[in-house]
Amino acid sequence: MLKKFLRDVVVIVVGKQAEEIADLINTKKHVNEFLIAKKLDITINQTRNILYKISDHGLVSFIRKKDKRKGWYTYFWKVEVLKSLEFLKRIFLKKINQLKNQIKSRQTKGFYICESCNIEFNEENALLHNFICPECGKVFAKKDNTKLLRELKRNLDKIRRELALVEIEIKKEKEKIEKEQLKEIKKKLKEKKKPVRKKPAKEKKKIVKKKIKKEPKKLIKKKIKKEQKKALKKKKVLKKKKVVKKIKKHSKKKRKK
């Protein structure tokens, strides 16, 4: 049933000619667009146009990979099953609503018809034309809605049944997604548990490192003292130089005057 529904979605969004693509992208992993084109026996551009149309409704997902040699991107596609089913559900609900309104209007309002032109008028429009056909002048006949009503009701029942089936598929798909998410969580938990066993080893290493650092502290202090002395000497030298410079400047100014 899922296969049929996914095909229905493609037919609604793109058209009957693209129907087959639904089977090709109903996969676990994303499918190479060139492979899709090959299997459908159409060009890559035609394939992309179909996929873009479905993508406009958010019913497919894609990933892209860069071809290192040629430098262009190849896209990989996959149908979003849950979103597609929910899309179909919305369409069915809309149709059901329309049919209900049509049935109600056929049951409560009068309709008139010109039997020779086969044109239909509702009560208001028929009254506007004084119940005379504007095309041929023939008097309207009251329309018998029994047959049409039967047809509308049959249609309504059919779509309601399909809607129930879509809802079953939606439930299945949600359960499937939940299972996959649980699997992922379990996987991550397992991955987290592994380093916990390794932790004590890491802590030991840290302690060892700290010990190594502690030992040469005295040496470091000595080095720092040496460096500080050097710095002091440099400062003194610099001060002397500055003083010399100032004196020189003064003497230059005096000369200028």
Per CB under 5 A, residues contacting Zn ion are 114, 116-117, 133, 135-136, 138
Q: Is the dihedral of CA 50, 99, 153, 143 positive or negative?
A: negative
> Which H helix or E strand runs over 196?
helix 146-214
Give the nearest distance from C-beta 117 to Zn ion in angstroms.
3
Closer residue to Zn ion (CB): 117 or 168: 117
Closer residue to Zn ion (CB): 88 or 114: 114
Cα 95 from Cα 157, distance rounded (Å): 11
Give the nearest distance from C-beta 177 to Zn ion in angstroms.
58
Q: What is the DSSP letter of 142?
A: E
CB distance 112 to 141 below 8 Å: yes
Q: What count of other Cβ atoms lies within 10 Å of the Cβ of residue 197?
A: 8
Give the nearest distance from C-beta 126 to Zn ion in angstroms.
12
Q: What is the DSSP letter of 114?
A: E
Give the nearest distance from C-beta 124 to Zn ion in angstroms.
18
Give the nearest distance from C-beta 128 to Zn ion in angstroms.
15
Cα 14 from Cα 125, distance rounded (Å): 37
The number of angstroms, rounded, from the C-alpha of 251 to the middle of its chain's C-alpha atoms is: 80
State in Å, rounded, how far the first CA of the chain is from the last one: 106
Give the nearest distance from C-beta 86 to Zn ion in angstroms.
46
Q: Which amino acid is at 133?
A: C
Closer residue to Zn ion (CB): 109 or 138: 138
Give the nearest distance from C-beta 138 to Zn ion in angstroms.
5
Q: What is the DSSP letter of 16?
A: G
Closer residue to Zn ion (CB): 117 or 224: 117
Closer residue to Zn ion (CB): 49 or 116: 116
Closer residue to Zn ion (CB): 128 or 136: 136
Closer residue to Zn ion (CB): 116 or 228: 116
Distances (CA, A) of 157 to 9, 163, 255: 20, 10, 114
